[in-house]
Every structure is written in C-alpha cells, then in structure tokens.
Amino acid sequence: MNWKELSSLDQLDQAVEESKTKPVLIFKHSRTCPISKAALDRLERHWDLGNVTPYFLDLLSYREVSNAVAERFGVQHESPQVLIIGQGKPAYNKSHFDINYKDIKGQLTAIAG
C-alpha cells in the first residue's frame, strides 16, 4: 500500500480536490490504539487498488488536521476511522471493528464507476 501522509490542511484541500476526479481514502490512525493497529494491518494486507490514493493521518501528530476532517465532512471523530471521499464529499465512514476491506473495495469500485 502506497500511503500519502496527510499532515497539513493544505494536503487535506488537495485530497478533496483529487476526490473530484477519483475517490480517495483517508485512514485516521492512533499509534497508541491496538484496534487501530489491527485495522491498519488488515487494510494493508488486503489492499489491491492501484487507482485509489490512500491518505494516512496520524491523528496524534496532526490533531488539527484530524479535527478539520471531522468538521469539513460532518463526521464524528473516531480512531481508527476510514473515510472515502468522492466529489469532495464523504461517501463512506466507518470506524473500529466496522472497518472492512470488502466493503471499502465495494464502495470505492462503485464511486469510481
């Protein structure tokens, strides 16, 4: 999996712009949470989508960006959390044990057309 680090508000703006031409995935991760580590491991183990840009947000290091994600997309902050952004809007939002690669792949495929 070829993560793009999401560490600034400018990068968040870029991800939103990119989502207008193809879906993007944002994974909000907490280094101190074993559930977050397990979700990350599952996602990385199964990932096979080369046409989707996955963004990795270390929410402990970049709290301001994490808060901006919640505010911009109108979602409650969770960790771990996966958002799929399409056309600048959230199309998918799951957290903790609801993060499921099969569902993510289905959503990304549907959005990408």
Check residue 108 and give its pLDDT. Answer: 87
- At residue 113 the predicted structure's pLDDT band, cuts being 50, 70 and 90, is low
Q: Helix or strand or coil: residue 55?
A: strand
Which tops the pLDDT comparison, 89 or 113? 89
**Whole-Å CA distances, 57 to 5, 7, 66:** 6, 7, 7
pLDDT tens digits, one per residue of 11-69: 999 999 999 999 999 999 999 999 999 999 999 999 988 888 999 999 999 999 999 99
Check residue 63 and give its pLDDT. Answer: 96
CATH number of 4-112: 3.40.30.10
**Whole-Å CA distances, 62 to 6, 38, 112:** 8, 21, 29
Give the Cα separation of 94 and 82 in Å (integer): 5
Check residue 51 and give its pLDDT. Answer: 83
Check residue 102 and give its pLDDT. Answer: 93
Q: Helix or strand or coil: residue 50?
A: coil
pLDDT tens digits, one per residue of 75-87: 999 999 999 999 9
- Of 84, 79, 87, the C-alpha closest to 106 is 84
Residue positions counted in the chain: 113
Check residue 84 and give its pLDDT. Answer: 96
For residue 33, which phi and psi values (nearest 5 degrees)? -105, 120
Domain ranges of the chain: 4-112
Check residue 69 and give its pLDDT. Answer: 98
